[in-house]
Amino acid sequence: MNREELITSIYSKKSLLCIGLDTDLKKIPPMLLKEADPIFSFNKAIIDATKDLATAYKINFAFYEALGSKGFESLEKTIDYIPKDLFSIADAKRSDIGNTSKMYAKSIFEHLNFDAVTLSPYMGRDAFDPFLSYKNKHVILLAHTSNNSSSEIQNQKLSNGAFVFEHVIEHYKNPSNTMFVVGATIPSSSQKKIRSICKESFLLVPGIGAQGGNLSDVLLHLAQPKPYVLINSSRQIIYASQKEDFTKAAHLEAEKLVKEMRTHINF
pLDDT tens string 167-190: 999 999 999 999 999 999 998 999
Confidence at residue 147, expressed as pLDDT on a 0 to 100 scale: 84
Residue 267 reports pLDDT greater than 90: no
Residue 212, number of CB atoms within 10 A of its CB: 10
**Longest alpha-carbon distance in the chain:** 58
Lowest mean pLDDT among 7-16, 92-101, 109-118, 135-144: 92-101
Residue 234 reports pLDDT greater than 80: yes
- Domain positions in the chain are 3-264
Average pLDDT, the chain: 95
pLDDT tens string 125-176: 999 999 999 999 999 999 999 888 888 889 899 999 999 999 999 999 999 9
CA distances from 165 to 50, 71, 74, 157, 193 (A): 33, 33, 34, 9, 10
pLDDT-based confidence at 242, cuts 50/70/90?
very high
pLDDT tens string 12-68: 999 999 999 999 999 999 999 999 999 999 999 999 999 999 999 999 999 999 999
C-alpha 42/C-alpha 263 separation (Å) is 31
The answer to whether residues 84 and 5 touch, using CB atoms and an 8 Å cutoff, is: no
Top CATH class of 3-264 equals: alpha beta
pLDDT-based confidence at 208, cuts 50/70/90?
confident
Whole-model pTM: value is: 0.96
Which residues, in sequence order, are bridge partners of residue 56?
Answer: 18, 87
Q: Which of 78, 93, 91, 90 is nearest to 123 (CA)?
A: 93
- Give me the percent of the chain exceeding a pLDDT of 70: 99
Choice among 93, 102, 173, 192 that is catalytic: 93
Residue 179's identity, in one-letter code, is M
Q: Annotated catalytic, 93?
A: yes
Residue 209 reports pLDDT greater than 80: no
Which residues make Cβ contacts (< 8 Å) with residue 229, sequence separation at least 6?
Answer: 16, 202, 203, 204, 205, 218, 219, 222, 223
Confidence at residue 210, expressed as pLDDT on a 0 to 100 scale: 66
